[in-house]
A = this chain, B = another copy of it.
């Protein structure tokens, strides 16, 4: 029989608080962004588990032990990432065993995983890799489907209280899959209730304008909480409901829908997704449903709109291609913008956006053509056309139109918001809102 634990005894033990400790000298040196802490924090928050501290510490035995003990003092569950690699620097497993008062022993199961990992890739493990099969007794071993480092989950007696300690690998792809496949299902069994969420993603209104519009709706709630999350060019509203672990979809819909309807009656035109899809995904789905194709003529965004859409696998179903018409020559030669328009109105103008859209539609042979021209800065602005001035043209079978926008921010922000705005113009046209 394996000396490791197959299932931790968790029934009747609710996990209210958790802390994330990310281990790695590269974080202290500023070489990498701490995406692990962000990703885990978001997961914990979705599970309704509170987190009051996050700690970053290097691969140093004394310091790691100190922060582990301190976090165990404060929280029901401590999750670490990093320090499970095959080198001497990787000490998280060892220190955790010391704290748990147990030993590292060779796991036959983990040895098998490592052997298989290399066999599948036609390579051989080196001596170092076998170190990763040394795992703590009195812990549940966690499978790594992406790399060679297994994780571990302990139940410990810490100063007279039952606490949990989970060790996950540092590489984000490995951390994420292990959390999803091993830790999250277990955390869900720890709770009597769970949080249910609905995400309303919006574009076109700032965070404060949006929350002003629905302030009374937010305040009138007691069962459902509504929280805005702003990111560049977008605001997401998260609706959360705490309920029993098993709940019928119809009941859930019944409880959420009055609030959703109220919000939609105020700001419906700004909501582009109710199921947490990104704007490019929503646009792609709308095009696919209509079996329609799209192409772009980009000036100030320089290829970003095409790049955003083609991020999504399967974009080729609806996206034919595009033209990055950065110079006036390309606007003329490929898109057929006339010299007169460029001379009289300039390259950043309604006339140019209209001509670019119409030209792109015919050049690319698509159902919908979106054109964008503007001033991303920092140079090139004037009193009449300040930095952030954008014209977006759209041509389809029925008509060719252009809209004006003024976008704030630096060059990167203007380009990114302009990209989202162009996709939103297309979305509204596909839905025949405009």
Interface string of A33-69 (1 = CB under 8 A from B): 1110111111111000001111111101001000100
Query: In angstroms, how far is the closest chain B Cβ from the Cβ of A103?
Result: 28
Judge whether B313 and A319 touch: CB under 8 Å.
no
- Residue A117 is within 8 A (CB to CB) of chain B in the complex: no
Q: Give the chain B neighbours of A316 by CB distance below 8 A.
A: 326-327
Choice from B43, B63, B313, B325 contacting A30 with Cβ under 8 Å = B43
Task: Say yes or no: B310 contacts A322, CB within 8 Å.
Answer: no
Write out the residue numbers on chain B whose beta carbons fall within 8 Å of the beta carbon of A42: 29-31
Contacts of A412 in B (CB 8 A): 311
| Interface band, chain A | 35 or more
Judge whether B43 and A38 touch: CB under 8 Å: no
From known contacts A301-B307, A307-B303, infer whether A45 and B57 are also in contact, taking CB-CB under 8 Å.
no
Q: Are A54 and B55 in contact (CB under 8 A)?
A: yes
Which of B40, B41, B229, B305 touches A303 (beta carbons < 8 Å)?
B305
Contact with B along A408-424 (1 / 0, CB 8 A): 00111001000000000
Which of the 9-residue segments A76-84, A154-162, A328-336 touches chain B?
A328-336
Whether A320 sits at the interface, judged by CB under 8 Å, is yes
User: Once the chains are docked, how many angstroms separate the CA of A301 from the CA of B304?
Assistant: 11
- Residues of B within 8 Å of A301, CB to CB, are 307, 310
Which chain A residues numbered 287 to 339 have a C-beta less than 8 Å away from chain B?
296, 298, 301-307, 309-311, 313-316, 319-327, 329-330, 333-334
User: Does A377 reach chain B (CB closer than 8 Å)?
Assistant: yes
Q: A302-B309, A378-B313 are in contact. Are A56 and B33 (CB under 8 A)?
A: no
With A33-B35, A35-B33, A38-B33 as contacts: A313 and B377 at CB distance below 8 Å: yes
A32 at the interface (CB under 8 A from B): yes
Enumerate chain B residues within 8 angstroms of A379, measured Cβ to Cβ.
313-314
* Chain B residues, Cβ within 8 Å of A41: 27-30
Known contacts A63-B52, A303-B303, A315-B302; A334 and B363 CB within 8 A of each other:
yes
Task: Find out whether the CB atom of A33 lies under 8 angstroms from the CB atom of B30.
Answer: no
Which B residues lie within 8 Å of A321 (CB)? 323-327, 330, 334
A282–chain B nearest beta-carbon distance, Å: 18
Q: Are A39 and B45 in contact (CB-based, < 8 A)? A: no
From residue 385 to 431 of chain A, which have CB atoms closer than 8 A to chain B?
410-412, 415
Assess the A52–B58 pair: CB atoms within 8 A: yes
Do A327 and B320 touch across chains, with their CB atoms under 8 A apart? yes
Residues of B within 8 A of A31 (CB): 42, 229
Cβ contacts under 8 Å, A315 to chain B: 302, 326
A364 in the interface, Cβ–Cβ < 8 Å?
yes
A323: which B residues are within 8 A, CB to CB?
321-324
Contacts of A320 in B (CB 8 A): 326-327, 329-330
Taking a contact as CB atoms under 8 Å apart, the answer to whether A298 and B303 are in contact is yes
Contact B329 A365 (CB under 8 A): yes
Give A387 Cβ to nearest chain B Cβ, in Å: 11
User: Which residues in B have their C-beta under 8 angstroms from that of A45?
Assistant: 28-30
In the complex the two chains form, is A310's CB within 8 Å of B326's CB? yes
Say whether A313 contacts B411, CB under 8 Å.
Answer: yes
Closest B residue to A293 by beta carbon equals: B327
Closest to A54 in B: B56
User: Assuming the A-B contacts A29-B41, A30-B45, A38-B32, are A53 and B52 also in contact, with contact meaning beta carbons closer than 8 angstroms in the complex?
Assistant: no
> A333 CA to B51 CA in the complex, in Å?
57
Q: Is the CB of B54 within 8 A of A27?
A: yes
Chain B's closest residue to A35 (CB) is B33
Question: Is A30 touching B39 in the complex (CB atoms < 8 A)?
Answer: yes
CB neighbours of A55 from chain B (8 A): 53-56
User: Which residues of B are found within 8 Å of A324, using beta-carbon distances?
Assistant: 296, 303, 306, 310, 321-324
- Shortest A375–chain B CB gap in Å is 11
Question: Quick check: A319 and B326 within 8 Å, CB to CB?
Answer: yes
How long is the Cα–Cα vector from A375 to B316 in the complex, in angstroms? 12
Interface residues of A (CB under 8 A from B): 27-35, 37-45, 51-58, 60, 63, 67, 173, 229, 296, 298, 301-307, 309-311, 313-316, 319-327, 329-330, 333-334, 363-365, 377-379, 410-412, 415
